[in-house]
Structures are given as C-alpha cells and as structure tokens.
Chain A
Amino acid sequence: MIRKKIKIVNEAGLHARPAAALVKLAGKFDSDFYIHMYGYKVNGKSILGVMTLAAEQGAELELEIEGPDEKKAARAIVDLINKGFNES
C-alpha cells in the first residue's frame, strides 16, 4: 500500500473538471484508491465522494493506493494533482 500526502495547488480547487479528471484517471487502474481529508475518507474513483470533500486550494489530502498497479497509479495521480490538473 502506498500512502502519500499532497496539497491541492490549483486556484479553483477540486471543482467539476479536476474532480472528473481525477476519477477518470483513477478508474484506469486496478488498484483501490482512497482519499483522506480532515478525518473523512472517500473512494477516489467516486466523483460524488471526491466532490463532497470540496477541497479548496491549499487543502491537504492523503492518498491511499493499494493494488497490483499501485506504483503506476500513485505516480500518475500525484502528477495530475501536482500539475494543478493542467489549470492555471
């Protein structure tokens, strides 16, 4: 299992497009993916779950990824979040 802390860097936070991009990406991997934030835990492949986090810029998340392709999945997900979902 991989656990990794990460910050939301894009200005608008986890709004519609980033949330959709995140679950779409996570859905491509077999590994389970959960996000912990301020005591909540949601399934990272569930857009409704991800949206209820309402993560704003600067929010700290902890990613939990477990499964056969966890390394690949972790790399891709971390990259997407760090790139600010390719937004400004």
Chain B
Amino acid sequence: MGEHIQSTFNEIRLKGLAASPGIALGKAFVFNKRQPVIDSTSITKSQIKEHLSEFHRARELTENELSALLKEELDDEILNIISAQVEMVRDPELGHQVEQLISVELHPASYAVQKVFENYLRMLSVSGNHVARERVMDIKDTRDRLIEYINDQSAMIRLDSEYILVAKELSPREVIKLSEGELKGIIMDKGGPTCHAAIIARAMGIPAVVGAKNVSELVHDKGLIAMNGSTASVIINPTDETVQKIKRKIADWADYLSHLKSICHQPSVTKDGHSFTLRANIEFARELPNMASYNAKGIGLLRTESIYLTKEHFENQKKQEAFYTTILAQTGDDPVTIRLFDAGGDKFFNIGAKEGNPFLGWRGIRMLLDEPDLLSEQLKAIYLAAEKHPGRVKILMPMVTNVTEVIALKKLMKELQKQLAGEGHEIDPAIELGIMVEVPSVAILAGQFAKHVDFFSIGTNDLTQYTLAVDRGNELISELFNQRHPAVWHMIRRTVDAAKQHNIGISVCGELASDPEAAACLLGMGINELSMSPVKIPEVKQLLIQNEYQRMKDLSIGVLQCATAEEVDKLFENWKN
C-alpha cells in the first residue's frame, strides 16, 4: 500500500486501496485543511459580550448546517456520525466551559473553543482504544467548523467537473459538501475501503481511491492526475502516452456500462420467447434510482429491519407508513413485496440472556406473533400506505415453520382490517399474503401451506443454511455453504410443484437468483419471477435472454440427478458452454 511502483521522469504511479469503482482523469484539486487562525491574546471586558455572541452564532450556524445534512439520503452510519456532531455542538458542558473561558478568563471565542476541545481530545488520546480513535476525527471536524464560523471563514469551495479532489483525509461532512458540485473523483492519503469517506463516495457514485500514502504531497495543485477506483491505482503527471491509454480505458468502461444498460432495457424473454420478470431486493429509499436504472420491475423483497434498528423513535407507525409510501410512490405501477420484520427478538427487546442458538430461536414471525403491538403497528402502516397505492402491495411472512403461524397472522390481519375500516379507512382488497420458504419444514409441507397463502417466495440463503445445517456466518465451514447444493434444488422443486398444483404465485429472492446459471435453472423449473440486488440484473438477464427456455428445462431436470454441489457446478459449466 502506498509505495512507489515506478517513478520515471515525471510520471508517478501509486497504489492505494480501492474505495469506489470508476476511472477518472482530471486536474488535481489539493484540499488543504486550513489551519484556523486562533488568536490567543486576551480580550477586554467590554468585548466579552461580542465574543459570547460570536460563539453562539457559530454554534447555531454549525448546528443548522449539520442538521441540513441529516435530511439527505445518506448511509445510516454517516447519519449517525453527523447526528453525534449535532449533539456535540449542542453539548451543554461545551457551552458552559466556553462561556466561562470567554467571560472569566477573557479568552477570545476561537481560542476558548480550541482550548475546551483540546481537553476532550487529550482525554480521548489517553484511553487509546478503537472507539476513541474513530471519534477523534469527528470531534476535530466539529471543532474546526465552529472556529471557521467564528472566524467568518465558513465558505466551502465548490469544485466543478474538471477536478479530482485530493486530500490527506476528509471528514464525512467535507466529502458531502465538496462533492455537491460534480467531482470526477476522490483520492485520499489515509483511510481504508470502509472509512466514511469511502462509503459516501460509493453512495454518490464518485470513483475513489483511499490510503494512497503521500499523494496529497506528491501532486501539484491543478496538475494532471488519473485514478482507477477498481484497481486502486493513481498516476500523477501521466505522460501523453499514459493519458491516451487512460482515455481508451475510460471509453471502454463507458461502453461496458452502456452495454449493461442496453441489456437492462431489452425485453425480458428467453431466446425462444418465454417471458420472465426480474425484480429488485432493496432496503433503503436511496436505492430506488439505482433500481430504476437497471430497469427492475418492482420490488420482490423490501427489507424492513433497518427502520427499527437504526432509527431512534423505533415505535413509530407514522414513520413506517411514510417509508412504505415513499417506496410505493417511486416504483410506478409495479408490485412491492414488503417483508415483515425479519430479525432476532434481541434486536427489539431486552430479553436478558442471549439465545444459545439465535438462528433456531425467537425470530421472524415467531417473535412477531409474541409481540402483537410491534406486529400490529407494522401491518397498520402497510395498510395505510396501500390505501394510497391500491393493488400493488404484497405482504411477506419471514421465518415461517408452521401452518398455525399463517392462520394466526391472518386472524390478526382480519381484526386490524376491521378496526381500520371502522376508522374510515379503505382497505385494499388486493393485498396478497405470502410466506418465505426458507426452512425445510415449509418446503416439505409446501402443499399444506399453499392452501393458506397467495404466494411463496423462496429465500435460498436461509433455506441452504437450514437444509445443510451450515451456519452461513461461520468461516470455518464456509466451504460447506453452497446454495447450488442438490438438496437445495430438491427443496425448490417440491415448493414449485406445490405452488403450481394450488395455482399460487412463486418467486425466488435469495442469492441463488443472482447466480446467472442458477437463475436459468430456476426459470427452467417454472419460476418466472426472480428478485435480486439491482446491480446483479444485467449479468443474469444477459444469460437468460441468450438461451432457450427448453434448454433451461433440461438443466432443471439434470440438476436433480446430481449428488454433490461440485457435480452441479460441472453441469452448469457444461450447460453454459
């Protein structure tokens, strides 16, 4: 990391860490954090008032600026940092101590702020653990912003599309503010692929390389620089020859992207005219534009856990309703399948002792049925959102193992519908209820379950874990976790047969659906609806539209003859070629 690979006449090549994909060539904008000017000469008593009000004004402006960022569609981790920064600005101790230093010690406002923060930073450096290290940057960033406002140096530079931003290190706030123009890329001396600047760059689709040691010192401001966010290479002062090469790469990359786009916009039919539907698995509203650009037809799996796990007011029906409504409003006329909270009970409640085996424990619908308030709140929010967008919502039950659970949920749904109707709401009669098929008992008894529900959605991740008895988080046995295992295919076959026999819907929302050959095999088994992370759509779609449905059917018969996952791999490999 960071060493010089080659240093010729002028051109310097560096290697950092890949943070966000994309190739860029542009002028370097070296962002040097201004060391704020701190005046430490004492003020006179008559200036106290003026300095106090400078501090209060800076506090208000900083708080407003940070609060405005909280309204943007950002990663939750980033939002957490910014809201912690808001709390820092509001900190009663900070206010009290700074006021004391100004009015008693007669320090100017900027020096007072600096001094108070210094104290906290010194205490943090003593503890020296990882929690402390991560906080230092956010605390310093808050301090500097306050001082910049006190000094009236608050204006942020706006960069245009010619520039690649080069800096030692950037705080989340700086990355967001600096990329409000149209940056070509970001390169930092410090940071790793999971640092906050990297997360934001990825979310904003800006190519980025981090951990490129010394880059901010080696490059000249406004000098030519090139970068590749996938290979993590940085080239300072590229020669004419290199520039030509990079331009070709940029053109190739653009071609590749437009090729993928063109695939997404072709009709979803196999070579011999069998049509299929590809939908998106999503969790956050900010993924919607991405989903549209890959031309996903509606949402096959809307995860809802994050509403509860990351928001402060976690029992808030209105917030949930707003979230579902946003999703529905931005997905045209396509269906949206909302999965009820699928998490262990420990995420929501203090259940004291940890469960010995949480994946076989109190989770999904098991927990929800034990906590009717939580469940009712979510269902009501869904009904109210569906009232505004009728005919499009499907409800999906997670972690079902018994028919009785389905019956119990339907009973509760009926009661809620009655209650809401009594309050004057229109209940969307078209809302479908389906279950996740992710536990062997459901696949085995699929025919029984099919009598009670409108559709099945196969969750191959958990179905694999439970069928093969392999903990998918355990690295020691990660080789055993293989969704292509023949036992999983037999479970799927059983489920499809039951769905067809009872004439109910069937889809797959697990990772298997985004494995192109496996997707062909699923289609061959008779599953015409696959849901996946939107970025996976082009690759899957390419394979599906280039092959005949008849051959996929053959594949789906062949896969049931295999004894091992390796045999399945071989079968798929041969089929493809």
Look across to chain A and name the residue whose beta carbon is closest to the beta carbon of B138: A16
Q: Does B75 contact A (CB under 8 A)?
A: no
Q: Which stretch in B7-15, B88-96, B536-544 binds the other chain?
A: B88-96
On whether the beta carbons of A54 and B87 are closer than 8 Å, the reply is no
How many Å lie between the Cα of A14 and that of B129 in the bound state?
A: 12
Query: Which residues of B lie under 8 Å from residue A14 when comparing CB positions?
Result: 131
Once the chains bind, are B135 and A51 in contact (CB under 8 Å)? yes
Q: Measured between alpha carbons, how far is A83 from B347 in the docked complex, in Å?
A: 8
A17 at the B interface (CB under 8 A): yes
Measured between beta carbons, the chain B residues less than 8 angstroms from A40 are 123
As a 0/1 sequence over residues 12 to 41 of chain A, the CB contacts with chain B under 8 angstroms (1 = contact) are 111111011101100100000000000010
Interface string of B117-136 (1 = CB under 8 A from A): 10010011001011110110
* B139 touching A51, Cβ below 8 Å: yes
B131 touches A55 (CB 8 A): yes
Q: A46-B91, A51-B124, A88-B346 are in contact. Are A16 and B129 (CB under 8 A)?
A: no
Q: Roughly how many angstroms separate A86 CA and B312 CA in the complex, as a whole number?
A: 9
Q: For the complex, is B260 an interface residue (Cβ under 8 Å from A)?
A: no
CB under 8 Å from chain A, chain B span 63-89: 80-81, 83-84, 86-88
Q: Which of B307-350 contact A (CB under 8 A)?
A: 308-309, 312, 314, 346-350
Contacts of A51 in B (CB 8 A): 84, 120, 124, 132, 135, 139
A49-B350 contact in complex given A55-B131, A56-B129, C-beta closer than 8 Å: no
CB-CB nearest in chain B for A40? B123
Contacts of B86 in A (CB 8 A): 20
Given contacts A43-B92, A46-B94, A86-B309, contact A54 B127 (CB under 8 A): yes
Which chain A residue lies CB-closest to B133? Answer: A54
Q: In the assembled complex, which residues on chain B have CB atoms less than 8 Å from the CB atom of A88?
A: 309, 346-347
Cβ-neighbour of A46 out of B80, B83, B92, B139 (below 8 A): B92
Interface size on A, residues (CB 8 A): 32
Interface class of chain A by DSSP? helix
Q: Of B92, B120, B312, which is within 8 A of A24 by CB? A: B312
Residues of B within 8 A of A87 (CB): 309
Contact partner of B131 among A20, A46, A54, A83, CB < 8 A?
A54
How many Å from the CB of A72 to the closest CB on chain B?
A: 18
Interface string of A37-62 (1 = CB under 8 A from B): 00010010111110111111000000
Contact call A16/B135, Cβ cutoff below 8 A: yes
Choose among A40, A52, A53, A56 the residue with the greatest number of B CB atoms under 10 Å from its CB: A52
Are B129 and A54 in contact, CB atoms less than 8 angstroms apart? yes
Task: Provide the residues of chain A in CB contact with B131, threshold 8 Å.
Answer: 12-15, 54-56
Contacts of B83 in A (CB 8 A): 16-17, 20
Chain A residues lying within 8 Å of B127, measured Cβ to Cβ, are 52-54
Shortest CB–CB separation between residue B507 and chain A, in angstroms?
28
Contact call B120/A48, Cβ cutoff below 8 A: yes
Total cross-chain contacts (CB, 8 A): 88
With A86-B347, A87-B309, A88-B347 known as contacts, the answer to whether A17 contacts B139 (CB < 8 A) is: no
Q: Nearest CB to that of B349 among chain A residues? A: A83
Whether, in the assembled complex, A69 has its beta carbon less than 8 Å from a beta carbon of chain B, the answer is no
B129-161 vs A: 1/0 string, CB under 8 Å? Answer: 111101100110000000000000000000000
A15 with B123, Cβ < 8 A, contacts A20-B87, A47-B87, A48-B88 known = no
Complex: A83 Cα to B139 Cα, angstroms:
26
Residue of A nearest to B120 (CB): A48
Q: Restricting to B267-302, which residues have a CB under 8 Å from any CB of A?
A: none
Separation of A79 and B58 alpha carbons in the complex (Å): 35
Assembled-state Cα–Cα distance A82/B349 (Å): 10
Greatest chain A CB density within 10 A among B84, B88, B312 is at B84
Tell me, rounded to whole Å, the shortest Cβ–Cβ distance linking A59 to chain B: 9
Q: How far is the CB of A66 from chain B (nearest CB, A)?
A: 16
Partner of A48, one of B93, B308, B350: B93
Shortest CB distance B408–A (Å): 26
Query: Which residue on B lies nearest to A49, using beta carbons?
Result: B93
A27 contacts across to B, CB distance below 8 A: 92
Q: Is the CB–CB distance between A24 and B87 below 8 Å?
A: yes
The docked-state distance in angstroms from the alpha carbon of A87 to that of B308 is 10
Question: Which residues in window 479-532 of B have CB below 8 A to A?
Answer: none
A83 touches B132 (CB 8 A): no
Q: Which residues of B contact A20 (CB under 8 A)?
A: 80, 83-84, 86-87
Contact B81 A16 (CB under 8 A): yes
CB <8 Å contact, A46 and B93? yes
- A43-B93, A88-B346 are known contacts. Are A54 and B312 too (CB-CB below 8 A)? no
A-B contacts, 24 of them at CB < 8 A, read: A12-B131, A16-B80, A16-B81, A16-B135, A17-B84, A19-B84, A23-B87, A40-B123, A45-B93, A46-B91, A46-B94, A47-B87, A48-B88, A48-B93, A48-B94, A48-B117, A48-B139, A49-B120, A51-B84, A51-B139, A54-B129, A54-B131, A56-B130, A56-B131
Top-4 shortest CB links A-B: A46-B93, A54-B132, A16-B84, A17-B80
A residues sitting closer than 8 Å to B (CB atoms) are 12-17, 19-21, 23-24, 27, 40, 43, 45-49, 51-56, 79, 82-84, 86-88
Known: A48-B93, A49-B93, A79-B350. 12 other contacts (CB 8 A): A12-B131, A17-B83, A17-B84, A43-B92, A48-B91, A51-B84, A52-B124, A52-B127, A54-B124, A54-B129, A56-B130, A88-B346
